Every structure is written in structure tokens, then in C-alpha cells.
Amino acid sequence: MKRFLYFFAFTSFLVGCENSNKNSETKISQQETFPDATDQVNFGIVIHGGAGSIREKNMSDSTKIAYAEKLEEAIRTGHEILKNGGTAVDAVRETINVMENSPLFNSGKGAVFAHDGTNQLDASIMDGKTLKAGAVAGVTTVKNPINLAFQVMVNSPHVMLYGDGAEEFAKLQGVELVDPSYFYTEDSYKALQRVKTAEKKKYKTEKTVFYNARIKDYKYGTVGAVALDKNGNLAAGTSTGGMTNKRWNRIGDSPIIGAGTYANNKTCAISCTGWGEYFIRGVAAYDVSAMMEYGGKSLQEAAEIVIHEKLPSVGGGGLIGIDSEGNMVAEFNTPGMFRAMMDEQGKLEIAMFEE
């Protein structure tokens, strides 16, 4: 079982970076005391910023710090909402907004490029109390796709909107739109060029071409959040640019309810990241919930089965989850996953690499 690795208080992390030894990795762990002991209500939040070949030896100290800081800002945003009695849905949405607005992740601002040089964004959100859900796919001008997915959930009779229609709905709902050039980042653009070059070498004809998702420098960074609020309600959300060099309007698991995102107050809230085709085929997020509901598994057991027994033979990635009692999980079968969790005590854990 891959366990969470902790950073110490951020200052220790910085010192750790200077000393730069293997055990200095990832650390932020801080404790705040709330709510009153007499008024203890379970709540919590878990986030991810993508899984893949994320290795400590390939990451500079300044990059590690940048990721750690952004993960901390994101999770504290959601935690504050939960602490003040806000809903799990709001905590998930606003936490994801922080990561969508950062170029570090493959979502919103930092979304990867498709083969044709556009950025096509996908997102979904689900409310575990009502089992309502909203999703959008292939949007190119929506600054924060998770906000549009939320609008689909609360202001439309549908679950999933795609492309131009989704953008038309965004205008009607007053969701913030941007020029497609907003999503340009040098990192993502260079990643597309590298993947295209590697692809040309490997495949001879257009017919057999398929983006090589396992290429070494593929950009990871789909983002997700799951939360339990003080009223016992769960929510999950996921937002992504998909996979570098994707073609033919490919849509991954992130906007598919049951595959990349699922929440049900009876069981858990789940957000997945990794090679989407395999998460779709495994109905991965719902599978965790189903094993809990019908098989009596705990969240941890179900997450381990999906990630370490069912997926490895077909595809790599990870998931985060929280159950209705506030148990939290972050499992992955790749070398790393950007992740953080924070409970009702304010205990914060941030990690990136495999133990």
C-alpha cells in the first residue's frame, strides 16, 4: 500500500530541500484546533493534482515548493469553507478553482494541448446528497470548467454538455469566458511538440497513430477534490485538459460520472486521475462506491482493489476518496501523485511521491 508522505511545516520543508536527501521529501503537517471538542463534527477534504511518472529525482526543489504551496492554498480554501459550515459541493468547486487558475496543473490555465493545437477542457462534479451531477467536455473558452459543470448540475435538466452547446450554456449562465489563447503555456506547448516528435518516430502511418500517453515527459496534473461537510454530505469534482496530443475530440474519464468522478452519501466521494480510457472501462469511481455498498468493503479496501488489483494490468493512475465518516484515502499505482488531505482537526498532509 502506498502511503501518504508528509512534509513538516513548510519551513522544515525548505530546510529539507537544502539538505536534499531522500527522506526530506514532501512535508507540510500542521495542526489547528477546531471545532470545540464538545462540538466535534467530522468533516474533511482530499485533493489531487494528477498521477503519473512524478519522481523526486526529476523535480527541482523550486518546483516541489511551487506544487506544495499551490496544493496547500487549494486545500485550505476548501477546508475553510467546510470549517465555516459551507457545503461539500462549494468546497470542492472552489478548491478546484484554485488549481484551475494555476499553470502548474493540467486543468484550466495549465491545460495540455490536443493534437490540433487547441486546449479542450473537461470537468464534472457530483453532489452525494442529491445524486445530482453536472459535466462538460471539450470546452475551449471556459476559464473554470468545474464552474460550468456546477451550473449544468444546478441549472439544467441535463448531466453532460459538450463543445459549442456547452459554451452557449456558459454564456447564458454568466460563467467566465476567456480567449482560447489564455490556455497557452510554454510547458504544455513544448510537451505537445515532444509527444508529436516521438509519435512520428514510433508509428509509420496516420492510421495506426495513437498518442503515446506513457511518454516520459507527458504532462500530468488533472485536478480533483472530494469533501465531507459538517452536515454529512459528500461531493466530488474533477477538472482536466485531458491527454497531450489527444485527437478526434477524444474525451477521457474526468467528465464521466462513475468513471472519473462519483459521490453518494451512502458510501463515498471519489475523484480519479490517470489514463482515462482505462478508468472509463473499469467504471473506476463508481466501482469503489459499489464495493462499499454491495460488498461491505471499507473505502481503503475498495480503493486498493481498484487501483492495485483491477487497474494495473490495463492502465496507470490513482484516486482520492472520502467516506461518510470522514475516512480519507489517496491510492495510486504510478511513481507519484500530487495530493493533500486535511481533516476536521486541521491536520494537513501534502505529498507527491511514492514512499
Residues recognised as catalytic:
222
To ligand ASP, the closest distance from the beta carbon of 318 in angstroms equals 9
Q: Which member of 77, 151, 240, 261 binds ligand ASP (CB under 6 A)?
A: 240
Cell readout for 313 is 494490468
Q: Which is nearer to ligand ASP, 185 or 273 (by Cβ)?
A: 273
The set of residues, in sequence order, having a beta carbon less than 8 Å from that of 205 and lying 6+ positions away, is none
Residue 187 to residue 152: CA distance in whole angstroms: 31
Phi, psi of 177 (to 5 degrees): -110, 155
What the block records as the C-alpha cell of 39 is 462540538
Say if residues 334 and 318 touch (Cβ distance below 8 Å).
Answer: yes
Task: Answer for the pair 236, 224: CB distance below 8 angstroms, yes or no.
Answer: yes
- Only one of the segments 2-10, 86-94, 236-244, 294-302 lies at the binding site for ligand ASP (rule: CB under 6 A); that segment is 236-244
* Minimum CB–partner distance for residue 338 and ligand ASP (Å): 11
Q: What minimum distance in Å lies between the beta carbon of 242 and ligand ASP?
A: 4
- Single out the residue of 24, 147, 245, 254 in contact with ligand ASP (rule: CB under 6 A): 254
Nearer Cβ to ligand ASP (115/297) = 115
- Residue 188 CA to residue 268 CA, distance in Å, equals 33
Look at the alpha carbons of 324, 326, 331, 335 in this order and tell me if their dihedral is positive or negative.
positive
The smaller minimum CB distance to ligand ASP, of residues 245 and 289, is found at 245
CA nearest to 91, candidates 353, 344, 266: 344
Q: Which three cell numbers stand for residue 321?
A: 476518496
Q: Is 138 in the site for ligand ASP (CB under 6 A)?
A: no
239 contacts ligand ASP (rule: CB under 6 A): no
Stretch that binds ligand ASP, among 154-162, 174-182, 202-210, 247-255 (CB under 6 A): 247-255
Closest distance between ligand ASP and the C-beta of residue 180, in Å? 19
242 binds ligand ASP (CB under 6 A): yes
Q: Does 185 bind ligand ASP (CB under 6 A)?
A: no
Q: Which residue lies nearer to ligand ASP by CB, 213 or 348?
A: 213
DSSP state of 306: I
Instruction: Indicate whether 233 belongs to the interface with ligand ASP (CB under 6 A).
Output: no
Closer CB to ligand ASP, 108 or 252, in the complex:
252
Residue 103 Cβ vs ligand ASP, minimum distance, rounded to whole Å = 16
Indicate the helix (H) or strand (E) that contains 274: strand 268-274
Q: Residue 146's CB: how many other CB atoms inside 10 A?
A: 31
Contacting residues for 328 by C-beta, under 8 A, at least 6 apart: 44, 46, 320, 321, 322, 341, 343
Does 316 contact ligand ASP by CB under 6 A? no
Residues 27-66 as x/- pattern, contact with ligand ASP by CB under 6 A? -----------------------x----------------
Nearer to ligand ASP, 97 or 273 (CB): 273
Per rule CB under 6 A, is residue 271 in the interface with ligand ASP? Answer: no
By the rule CB under 6 A, 245 interacts with ligand ASP = no
Contact 320, 92 (CB under 8 A): no
* Residue from 243, 269, 340, 351 in contact with ligand ASP (CB under 6 A): 243
CA 264 to each of CA 131, 228, 270, 289, 293: distance values in angstroms, whole numbers, following the listed order = 6, 11, 9, 8, 10
Task: Give the CA distances from residue 215 to residues 19, 61, 68, 299, in Å, rounded to whole numbers and listed in that order.
Answer: 31, 23, 25, 31
Q: What is the binding site for ligand ASP (CB under 6 A)?
A: 50, 220, 222, 240, 242-243, 252-254, 273-274, 276
